[in-house]
Homo-oligomer: A and B are copies of this chain.
Amino acid sequence: MGFKSINLSEKLSKFSEHWAPKIIAQMNDYHFKAVKFQGEFVWHSHEDTDEVFIVLDGEMSIAFRDGSVELKPLRLI
């Protein structure tokens, strides 16, 4: 097994288009993707898996049938 350090700022500086996720790392059979977006995405669901979002800049709202969550950037106090 290998090891790798991922520079997230560098990865993000390499693209500017929206809604085009880039695979930047892999952990076992999971991908880490970096994505930039603005506006709404078509409402959809993943019945078979969880999904995690870590917001780096801006704000994100995810609507569910029974509520919504607002996500803000990961920042230390």
Chain A residues packing against B (C-beta within 8 Å):
1, 3-5, 8-9, 12-13, 25-28, 30, 32, 49-52, 54, 56-57, 62, 64, 67, 69-71, 74-77
Contacts and interface: CB of A to CB of B under 8 A. Distances in A.
Nearest to A50: B27
A54 to B, nearest CB: 8
Nearest to A62: B3
Nearest to A9: B77
A69 B1 contact: no
A16 B4 CA distance: 29
Contacts of A52: 25, 27, 32
Contacts of A12: 76
